[in-house]
Every structure is written in structure tokens, then in C-alpha cells.
Chain A
Amino acid sequence: MVAGIPGTGIGGIFYLMSAFCMPLREMTKLVRGKSNLMRWKFIVMQLGLASGIVMGFWITGWILAMVIPQKAHVFFIITSNGKILKITPFITAITVLFTVLLSVELLRFFVPKPHSR
């Protein structure tokens, strides 16, 4: 089960970012001798999926920007150029995601750590 609505919201972007951070994490494991070829194969596969998703989003935005009349860009009337559907929602979602993640990182300083069971 995926909590919430799969594919919508900031969850998708969270997992995309997680995928793109994998090589960085794996590099640290490599330095500590905890990496292997299988793990890199898996990372390349997930990166391929993540890149495909990003490209799919970009193409969708590009098509929508062409198909939808300029005057219909009611999301952001003040910047009625062809790039708005591709870029602005993405920046908004990233900002929301970082705010949410930062909030939970801060929250842990205010919640006492329980004893492990």
C-alpha cells in the first residue's frame, strides 16, 4: 500500500530525489568498502527509471505549453510565457517538499527520544 495518492503530491518528487542521491550515498559506502557491483547495477537501474520519469514530465510540460493557449495560463498570469507549465509547478513542489522535510528534521529536536524497546 502507498499512503496518500500514489503519483501525486510531493511523494513522487521525494522518491525521485532519493533515487538521484543514491550514487552519492553509495560513494561513501565504496570508500568504506561496503559497496559492490550488484549495488551499482541496482542504482543505475533506478536512476534510469528516475531519469525517464523526469524526462516524461518535461515532455508533458512541453506539450501542454504548446497545446494550451497562452491566455489559459491562469496559474501564473503575470508570466505568460511557454515555460510556466514546465517550471513553476516543479519549483513550487520542491519548495513544499523541502519545507516539509525541514519541519520534521526540526521536530525531532523537540520530541524526546524514547528508550529503545
Chain B
Amino acid sequence: MNLLNETNARVALKGVSLRKTCPLTVIIPAYNEGKSLADTVKSVLKQTVAVQEIIVVDDCSTDNTGQVVLDLGVKVLRPPQNTGSKAGAQNYALQVTNSELTMAIDADTVLAEDAIEKLLEAFDDGKVAAACGFVIPRYVNTLWERGRYIEYLFAFTFFKPIQDYYDKPLISSGCFSMYRTDILKGNGGWSTRTLAEDMDLTWSFYQSGHKVRFIGDAVCYPIEPHSFLFMRKQLKRWCHGFVQNVQLHWRNIVHIKYLRSMVTVSLWDAVVASFVYLILLPLLAIAFRNPVFLIGYIIDVPAVLIPTVAVAIKRKEILRVLTSLPAFFVLRTVNGIFMLEAIVSEWVFKKSFRVYEKGH
């Protein structure tokens, strides 16, 4: 099946010349994204393939979010009241979507020019319900952005392609993913029952026998948290979301090959590695009065460095990678703190965190 219909070529959107058109609706949920939204929409308009429709959901913003895209020829929906989450805003637009494919993209994310075309290739396989791409932070300046830059380069170069090889990408990332609309609607859209709706949706697809793909050539560039204040919100949401999804899905995913191994190992690392890293290593160093234990913090530098340098050579960003590497070790320490907090809060104190706080 070829989703690009040349005979149906048409001027789909304002300012777009004759191109192949794909049966795709792009949903962009936005809450106070006046500064970044126009860039996101323009990057969709400049794609190598034209899309059927772009819907911006202005989730009752208090800034000029709705106005900045009025001249770009996109549909702007405004719910009667704030939906409370990204999932809620996306579902609001999904109700009026009737194209074969639906894409969700964050309002602070821009796409490489061929990102949609590359991602479409995944849907040549009729069993594929969702596909996601390579994520690289758009700005790499602050400590937190640099840490995230290394984390993404590492994960999307080494972990994610392996997950894809075994047909089980852990998450079809919420910032840039494409879905088969009928399967998405059949699933009830994006669920709001956890704080990580993308993980919830991905695991639900596996449970219903569908495939999810990771396409490394489809690249997007989101704005990552630039300060601890925003990083804190995002990490809290992600960590609690992971724990909530494990709690919600474990009875099902234990029967799904490779996914069960991946999730169990991730959970083990989330609990034990965080504990060792944050508590045990410093305690041992103090108890034995021997700093050799602190080597544990950096002993895996080669593991992180090899894949990131490999992709840095390809992207001609070696200096950026080398100067960003120390920030990664700061970020993962902070990540460990939030992961432990989420586990203790959700499972020990049974205090489920449900407030969706925007992380950028």
C-alpha cells in the first residue's frame, strides 16, 4: 500500500506547491505556546509531502497561541474549557479527524523536512498502528538541555533501534508520532488514566496485537526544559507516568515477548540502580573511607560515549557531545531522585500523582 497519492496531488495548504499528498491529519495540542507554535506549523507546511489537514487545539491559552497561526491556513479548535492534559486536547481534535492517518506533534517541536515522508514508510506494513522518529533537542545550551541531548543521542542511537529490531519500541514518543486513525479511535484515543499517555497507548497497541515502529531517519527537534524548574515538572510527570503504566499494564505485558524483559529490566534499574547510585555508593565511600567506590558514578562513561560519539561524527557535532557529556551525569542523578520519589509515592504511600504540569 502506498499512502502517497500522486493522482490526488493538490494544493493542500496555503503556500504549498504541488506535492504528493498523504491522507494525514496533524494534531498540535497547544497551551500558551505562542512563541513556538508558528515554527511548528511552518515545519509541517514545508514537508516534502503535503498533509490533508493541520488542526491546532488551543487549549484555552491565556496568550496569543490561537492568533499566531491564523494566517497559516490551519484549523484552530478551542475547547469550551481547558482539557487538563495534552491527551485531552489531542482527543478533542481526534473527534473531527477522518483521515486514514493521524499525527500528534508537540507545539514546541519542529520537524526535519522529510520527517513525515520517512515516517509514512512504516505504514506500508498493514499491521503497524503507530510509528515514531528520532528526537534531538532543538537548543543545546543550558546544563539541562545538554544532559537531555546526550540522553537522547544515546537512547535513539543504541536502545531504540534495538527495540525496533525486536518489534517492540518501548514508547512511541508523544512529541512526534503517527497513528492509524481507526486503530487509534478503536483504542479510545489517548488515555488520561496515566501521566504518560504515549507509553500507555504504545503498550495498549501491543496488547491488541498491533505493531509499533521506530524510524530513525524521521527526525524532530523539540524544545527541552532549559531550567531545573521545568525539568523537575517533566521528570516528575515521566517518572510517575512510567510507574503508573507498569501498575496498569503489568498483567498484560508479562505475556508479551521482549516487552516484558525490557520493562522488567527498566523497572529494576529504576529501583535498584537508582538506590545504588544515590544512596549505596556514597554510603560505602564514607563507611570504608575509600573514594574508589565513587568510580561507580563514571564507570560507564564508555557505554554512553561510544554511541553518542558515533552519531556525533555523522552529525558533525563532536565538540557539542564532548562538552555536554558531564551534564548527562548530572541529569541522570536528578532523574534517579525523581524515579525513586515516584516509586515510593505511587507504590509505598499509594499516592498517585495526577496533575498534568507542562514541562517546558
Contact = CB atoms under 8 A, between A and B. Distances in A.
A56 B308 CA distance: 13
Interface in B256-309: 260-270, 272-274, 276-277, 288, 290, 292-293, 295, 299-307
Contacts of A5: 269-270, 273-274, 277, 332-333, 335-336, 339
Contacts of B292: 68, 72-75
A104 B256 CA distance: 11
Contact of A57 (B251, B252, B272, B303): B303
B303 A7 contact: yes
A56 B302 contact: yes
Interface in B92-148: none
B165 interface: yes
Please list the 3 inter-chain residue pairs (A to B) with the smallest Cβ-Cβ separation, ordered nearest first: A56-B302, A4-B269, A9-B273
Interface stretch (B151-159, B225-233, B349-357): B151-159
B171 interface: yes
A60 B273 contact: no
Interface residues of B, number: 61
Contact of B165 (A10, A42, A52, A116): A42
B266 A11 contact: yes
Given A1-B238, A108-B260, A116-B208, A12 B165 contact: no
Given A18-B162, A73-B292, A114-B252, 9 more contacts: A2-B155, A14-B265, A18-B166, A25-B165, A56-B301, A59-B302, A68-B292, A96-B268, A117-B207
Contact of B261 (A57, A74, A101): A101
A113 to B, nearest CB: 5
Interface of B: 151, 154-155, 157-159, 161-162, 165-166, 170-171, 173, 196, 204, 207-209, 238, 242, 251-252, 254-255, 260-270, 272-274, 276-277, 288, 290, 292-293, 295, 299-307, 310, 328, 332-333, 335-336, 339
Contact of A49 (B265, B288, B295, B310): B310
A46 B264 CA distance: 23
Interface of A: 1-12, 14-15, 18-19, 22, 25, 42-43, 46, 48-50, 52-53, 55-57, 59-60, 64, 68, 72-75, 89, 96-97, 100-101, 103-104, 107-108, 111-114, 116-117
Nearest to A97: B265
B306 A56 contact: yes
A114 B251 contact: yes
A116 B292 CA distance: 51
Contacts of B209: 116
B268 A10 contact: yes
B339 A4 contact: yes
Contacts of A117: 204, 207-208
A111 to B, nearest CB: 5
A53 B303 contact: yes
B159 A15 contact: yes
B155 A6 contact: yes
Nearest to B239: A3
A60 B165 CA distance: 29
B158 A8 contact: no
Contacts of A18: 162, 165-166
A43 B162 CA distance: 9
A111 B252 CA distance: 9
A9 to B, nearest CB: 3
Given A2-B159, A117-B207, A7 B304 contact: yes
Contacts of B254: 104, 107-108, 111
Nearest to B267: A3
Counting chain B CB atoms within 10 Å of each CB, the highest count among A7, A43, A114 belongs to A7
A3 B266 contact: yes
Contact of B162 (A1, A46, A59): A46
Contacts of A57: 300, 302-303
Contacts of A8: 269, 273, 276-277, 300, 332
A69 to B, nearest CB: 9
Contacts of B251: 111-112, 114
Contacts of B339: 3-5
Contacts of B162: 15, 18-19, 22, 46
A15 to B, nearest CB: 5
A43 B261 CA distance: 20
Contacts of A114: 207, 251-252, 255
